[in-house]
Structure 1
């Protein structure tokens, strides 16, 4: 019972079995009720026909009684005397049927309470009493459905006409239906189980194909492979498409990581090689040691290592702290510390605008954008902050040559330098803008290049600012 197919088959079979048993019991109950109602009707019709003859003055010995095998009839008075009975009727509900039964020895006794009002002479009572009982006809005992009707003859004698309908045919019919159900139920359950097994096998076949392909991909580590997608539009087809989308995203992530490692290795190789060369020269010729150059390479190596570590944390899904940060105050503080920049930074409007996030990471975005502007500006760099609807907007602009339209997305890729910034000394490692965009997206914002060389950071306002 470990497979989905086996569990589905067992569950479907059990549900159908319970439903069929319930329906079968209901059918038998309804059928029995209908058959008993028909028997009641036949018995009542027979009893009223005989009662009508008595009410019209027909002598008891001249009553037209039906065959006792089909409808046994017994007529007795209030004192229990048997006045008429069907031929071959020998016993009714344990009482012997003997004409002229002495008073008090028949079905009725003097102790019987009868509060019902007897019909008037020549009339038949409208009420009828129905009951189950037995009778012996021609030496054979059988079950009957009895109907009892009171009638008063023309001599003001009230009698009870008791007519029965045999239940053998009804019981035989119910037995036949019950036996048919007992035979048909297992066969139907077998058909349901078989059909469910085949249908689930056909439905789950694509799932097994997906599983096998995923196992093969895991074993081969070839993320370019894809699972088969069924031509249907059901849940399994959507599962296959989602799986392929996941594999594509995973492949892209792995390729990105590989490229990141390759680029990082390339970027680290140059400052390390330069620093090693300077140290080897200093060891052989101390007087030739370029100490400022060694310090510069060490600082550059330190910055690169810090950038790589931050990117690794961002790729690992590190979420920013949910603290309130005043973007305008952050910009004023950051700009006040940049006294050694190549060009002065002109600050525009810097109003207090609150956002949620990490103060250090947002400060890193501003620092990277200003550093990028310093490398490309001719005479000035400007920074301003404003509110735009539900967003806080930080804009960094310079009067440099700007970014071509075709490069406005490429510059945010890691280790990308445009042609005029390929020098590692001037252009950095090509990670500043990539880090800035990653941080912006982690904060639910965007970082885009607008007209010219303007970089625009948009961050959602803090909850209380939106309210």
Structure 2
């Protein structure tokens, strides 16, 4: 007879799963499917398999423990009853085992069998030796005297009697426990793979149905070229993440299409603006070559120089716009915007209209001094072009959305900007009607450059309504702590 190993515990199963989880993950990463659908299916199967294994270990452990506890309780009840009979000297009244017990054997301190059930008649004492003291012990034995190979749970109760210590052995068969364990194990062995196959099939079908719109989006985007940016991806009616992805993709295509239109229009406008001074310059040079009178040459050469300077300014503006469109980072430094505005105004000698300034002290921003000076210069150029007698530059602090800002306003007393054109004046190569004439030149890029540079610094530039003339307002984030 020998003591059998204890039943498996759920804790051991968890430790086993913890040891194999890492290698399984690495194996899936190396040899797993390459598609999202396959990875989702494999992941679901692995997770369910791990959960199923853990649940199976727990179920088998709980089932064994419960059945074993019931068997022990019945055997212990009979052993205690017989021990009481022995203690009172009434072993003669011992009856056959009740249901739940397979045999009974009573042994004295010298190892002699005092009483035993018929199925242990003539069998030696079950215990390895005499009892050492009163108490109760539990053993699981595989015994052959009963003619079977099944296990027995033996309850050993030792008690004092008038003749000395007596040990009562009551054994109960674990045949039902083993049968239940085998049946449950077989059911799990068959049902587990079926459950995993069902999970794999359902996950494969569900992920395939969920990813079908994604494949439609991918196929549509793959066919879109720079010549058909008007096409859009289909938006599924599910209102889920895939639908939001399609809406975001269409919004991106809207921006790409608008950017393409803007780029093509910019190229066309730039070509037109470059063609006009080039044509005039060529005409002037041809006339200079044809005219033999040296007295006319200074005038012709002066006109050619003016057109050359205009071309130079236009090329510089186009280069700056290209740099802005490339989103080149701003070399930021902490600046006193009042000093920047004052320097820009003082550098403009000989302007047609005097500039009056009202600059609040201590208005600081983070940005590029060169580009912020260009913003002020472009705003002043625009005001000088259309002002009648007065230009005002006002700098003050403000608050936008709870954040401190620097507000720069340039006002002139010219014809003003119609309400319908307050956004259009910031488009590239835009000129309004004769109310804001072209007498003083300009390619229609000044305000566009000023707005783009302001936006590059995190601010805004708008044309605000006013009773007379134009009011252009630039709002920039104030430097932290200013």
Tell me whether the two structures share a fold, i.e. TM-score over 0.5.
yes
Q: Among 384, 407, 422, which residue is 1:374 paired with? A: 384
What is the deviation of 1:157? 4.4
Match of 2:356 in 1: 346
What is the deviation of 1:272? 0.5
Q: Aligned pair in 2 of structure 1 residues 166, 457: CA closer, same or farther (>3 Å)? A: same
Q: Aligned pair in 2 of structure 1 residues 427, 296: CA closer, same or farther (>3 Å)? A: closer
Q: What is the alpha-carbon distance in structure 1 between the residues aligned to residue 143 and residue 348 of structure 2?
A: 118
Match of 1:459 in 2: 476
What is the deviation of 1:196? 0.6
1:189 paired with 2:220, answer no
Contact 2:284 2:304 in 1 (8 A): yes
* Residue deviations 1:130-177 (CA, integer Å, cap 9, x gap): 111133345445421011223455x54442211100111210110010
What is the deviation of 1:442? 1.0
Match of 1:122 in 2: none
Residue aligned with 1:463, SS: coil
What is the deviation of 1:70? 5.2
Q: Aligned pair in 2 of structure 1 residues 107, 403: CA closer, same or farther (>3 Å)? A: closer
Contact 1:68 1:87 in 2 (8 A): no
Q: What is the alpha-carbon distance in structure 2 between the residues aligned to residue 266 and residue 59 of structure 1?
A: 125
1:211 paired with 2:218, answer yes
* Residue deviations 1:305-329 (CA, integer Å, cap 9, x gap): 1111111111111232211222222
RMSD of the alignment, in Å? 2.3
Q: What is the alpha-carbon distance in structure 2 between the residues aligned to residue 462 and residue 59 of structure 1?
A: 102
* Larger radius of gyration between Structure 1 and Structure 2: 1
1:363 paired with 2:366, answer no
Does 270-279 or 127-136 show the bigger shift? 127-136
Match of 1:414 in 2: 428
Q: Among 66, 71, 89, which residue is 2:102 paired with? A: 71
- 1:383-402 alignment, distance < 5 Å: 383-389=393-399, 390-402=404-416
Match of 1:257 in 2: 263
What is the deviation of 1:350? 5.7
1:329 paired with 2:339, answer yes
Q: What is the alpha-carbon distance in structure 1 between the residues aligned to residue 118 and residue 71 of structure 2?
A: 21
| Count of equivalent residues | 439
1:292 paired with 2:302, answer yes
- 1:221-260 alignment, distance < 5 Å: 221-260=227-266
Residue aligned with 2:102, SS: coil
Residue aligned with 2:34, SS: coil
Contact 2:233 2:246 in 1 (8 A): yes
Moved over 6 A (4+): none
Contact 2:334 2:366 in 1 (8 A): yes
- 1:31-70 alignment, distance < 5 Å: 31-60=63-92, 63-66=94-97
Q: What is the alpha-carbon distance in structure 2 between the residues aligned to residue 375 and residue 79 of structure 1?
A: 128
Q: What is the alpha-carbon distance in structure 1 between the residues aligned to residue 454 and residue 160 of structure 2?
A: 106
Unaligned runs of 5+ in 2: 1-32
1:167 paired with 2:174, answer yes
What is the deviation of 1:67? 8.0
Residue aligned with 1:348, SS: strand
Contact 2:131 2:158 in 1 (8 A): no
Q: Aligned pair in 2 of structure 1 residues 70, 331: CA closer, same or farther (>3 Å)? A: closer
Q: What is the alpha-carbon distance in structure 1 between the residues aligned to residue 245 and residue 363 of structure 2?
A: 44
Does 326-335 or 438-447 show the bigger shift? 326-335
Contact 1:129 1:149 in 2 (8 A): yes
Match of 2:208 in 1: 201
- 1:83-94 alignment, distance < 5 Å: 83-89=114-120
What is the deviation of 1:340? 2.1
1:306 paired with 2:337, answer no
Q: What is the alpha-carbon distance in structure 1 between the residues aligned to residue 305 and residue 160 of structure 2?
A: 134
Unaligned runs of 5+ in 1: 91-95, 118-126
1:136 paired with 2:144, answer yes
Contact 1:46 1:71 in 2 (8 A): no
1:428 paired with 2:442, answer yes
Q: Aligned pair in 2 of structure 1 residues 343, 140: CA closer, same or farther (>3 Å)? A: closer
Q: What is the alpha-carbon distance in structure 1 between the residues aligned to residue 340 and residue 255 of structure 2?
A: 36
* Residue deviations 1:182-229 (CA, integer Å, cap 9, x gap): 1111111000111111111011111111111110114x6411111111
Match of 1:21 in 2: 53
Contact 2:75 2:101 in 1 (8 A): no
Contact 1:328 1:351 in 2 (8 A): yes
Q: TM-score, normalised by structure 1?
A: 0.88
Q: TM-score, normalised by structure 2?
A: 0.85
Q: What is the alpha-carbon distance in structure 1 between the residues aligned to residue 308 and residue 436 of structure 2?
A: 20
Contact 1:335 1:345 in 2 (8 A): yes
Q: What is the alpha-carbon distance in structure 1 between the residues aligned to residue 438 and residue 268 of structure 2?
A: 17
Contact 1:329 1:352 in 2 (8 A): no
